[in-house]
Structure 1
Amino acid sequence: MQTNANNVDEFIAECKDKLKDNPGCGHTYYNMGVAYLSKGDFFEAESAFREAVENSPTLAEAYVQLGGIAMHQGDLDGCLNYNQLAIQARPMFATPHGNVGFVLLQKGEVNKAARSLEKAVKIDPKFVQALTTLGSAYLMENDVERAIDVCRRALEVEPMFGPAWNNLALAALEQGETAKAVEYVDKALETGFDVPQGLLDEVEQYR
C-alpha cells in the first residue's frame, strides 16, 4: 500500500480515509491492524483484523495475526483455531503450520505438533523457528539424531539463533557428549538467549 504518512497515526488515518471510499477492502483493514499492533493497541488491532477476514475470508495473514493476539492473551485454543483457519484459507502458507505445531507442543500433543512442524519446514525449508521447534518435538519423542539435524539446518540459516543452540546442548547431554553440551550452552548464551536455569546447572558440573 502506497502511503504519504510520516508516522503510524497518519498511516492509520490514511487507512480510515481509504475505507470511506472502499469499506469492503480487507487488505486496508489488515494494514491498519498491523499499524495498531505496532502501537501496542491490541484491542483496535484485533478489531481491524476481524474486519479484514470478514471482508476477505482468504486473507490468511489476518488469521495468523489474530492467532498472535490470542497467544498474547494466553488463549492457546484461540491461537490454534485462528491458525487452522489460516491453513484452510491458504494451505501452502508455512507460518500457520508452524504456529499450530508450536501451540500443540505447548498443549503436550507432541506427535501432532511434530507433524504440523514438518509440514511447515517442507513448505519453507528455511523457516528457522519451525525447524527449531521441530527439534524440540523430536527431543520429546527421543529422536535425538533428527533433532540435531533440524537444529543444525536452522543454524545454517541463522547462526545466532539461541533456541537452536539450546536444543543442541540438550541433545548433546542425551548422547553423553558433555563437552559439546557446555560449548552449545555457551553459544546459546552468546546470542542473548535466556538458557533455562536447570540446563545451566546441569552443564556447570562439566566445566
Structure 2
Amino acid sequence: MRTHLIRGVLALAAVLVMADPSAAQSVIRGRVVDQGGKPVDGATVTIEATESNRRAQVKTNRNGEYMQIGLPSGRYNVTAAKDNLKAVQQTNISQGAPVELNFQLTPTSGLTPEQVKANQETQALAQQAIDAMRAGRDDEAIQRFNELVVKVPTCSDCYYNLGVAYSKRQQFADAEASFRKATELAPNSADAYTGLANVYNAQKKFDLAQQASAKAAELAGAGGGGGNAEALYNQGVILWNAGKFADAKVQFEAAVKADPKLAMAYYQLGMANVNLGQLPEARKAFEGYLAADPNGAKAAEVQTFLKQLPQ
C-alpha cells in the first residue's frame, strides 16, 4: 500500500493535492514442481490481493507453468495447490516489472503431528490477519500480525503488513519500527523501504523520506536512468512535498519516460511546471495526463487548468 500526502500551491489557484498510486497493471508467472522437481500439471494457482477482495485463479500446464496478466500493482498472496499439497508465498506486483514466482509442492508426512498442528495454526492466524486487513479492520490486523511475529520472528512480510496497518491508523512511530524491522529481515525489500519513505513523508521528515525512497528505487531497479516508473514517481512525490519542485520535475519526467501511460506522473509533472512558472511545459504535461487517462480522477481538474493556461 502506498499513500502519498502531497501539498502544493498552484499559481492559478490555491489547491491541496493528493497523489494516488497509479492504477498500473502487470503480470505474474512461474512454475510449480513436485518434491522431485518434476512439473505439476493442473495445479491451481490462486492470486489474492492482501488489501482488497481482488482475486484471480489459473491452472498450470503440462510443463507446470502458469501466467496471469492484467493484475493491478499491489501486494498479493499466491497459493499453489493440488490434491493435499499446498504452498503459499507473498509478493508485490509492480507496473512494468513482471514477477516470477516458483513453487515446490512437498508433503508434510515428515513432520510430527505437533509440527503439523503448529503449522496449521500459524497459517490460520496469517489468513485471519490478511482477511482483517483486506476488510479494513486495521486494529484486528495489527493484533493478528503481532501474534504472528511472536510465533515467527523472522517473518519480514508480517512486519511489512504491520507497518501498513499502523500507517493507516497514523501510528507512525509503530509503523516506522515495523518497516525498519522488515528491512532488517529482508534487506532487499523495496516495499519495506517504500513504506518507510511514506511514513517519513507523512511526518514531513523529507530528507529521511528521500533517502528511504532512493533505496527503494535502487532495489526496484529504478536507478541509473530507467526502470521502475512507480519508484521514480514516488521519489518525485517526496521531493514535491519537500518543496524541491525542480528536483521533483526531473523524477516525474523520468517516470513518464519509463511508463508513458502513468497518468499521475503527468499530472504531478504539470503541477511541478506550474510551480516553476513553466506554463507551456505544464500544458504539455496536463495534455499527457488526459491522453493517458481521459476519464481519470484528475481529468476534470486538468481540463480546468488547461482552460486557464496559455496556448
- TM-score for both structures, normalised by structure 2: 0.52
More strand by share: 2
SS of residue matched to 1:40:
coil
Distance 2:299 2:237 in 1: 14
Report deviation, 1:123. Answer: 0.5
**Between Structure 1 and Structure 2, whose CA radius of gyration is higher?**
2
* RMSD over aligned Cα atoms: 3.3
Structure 2 equivalent of residue 14 of structure 1: none
Amino acid at match of 2:239: Y
Higher relative contact order (CA 8 A, sep 6+): 2
Distance 1:25 1:180, change over 3 A: farther
Structure 1 equivalent of residue 192 of structure 2: 96
Structure 1 equivalent of residue 265 of structure 2: 164
Does 56-65 or 31-40 show the bigger shift? 31-40
Report deviation, 1:40. Answer: 3.3
Q: Would the aligned equivalents of 2:138 and 2:169 in 1 still touch at CA under 8 Å?
A: no
Report deviation, 1:85. Answer: 1.6
Structure 2 equivalent of residue 115 of structure 1: 211
- TM-score for both structures, normalised by structure 1: 0.73
Report deviation, 1:158. Answer: 4.1
More helix by share: 1
Distance 2:159 2:299 in 1: 31
Distance 1:3 1:50, change over 3 A: farther
Does 73-82 or 89-98 show the bigger shift? 73-82
Amino-acid identity (%): 17
Distance 1:91 1:141, change over 3 A: farther
Distance 2:269 2:124 in 1: 43
Amino acid at match of 1:142: K
Does 148-157 or 101-110 show the bigger shift? 148-157
Matched, 1:81 2:183: no
Structure 2 equivalent of residue 142 of structure 1: 244
Amino acid at match of 2:184: Q
Structure 2 unmatched runs, 5+: 1-78, 83-114
Report Cα offsets for 1:146-204 as digits up to 9, x if no partner.
4333223333454343331222112322443212212323444663244897x887665
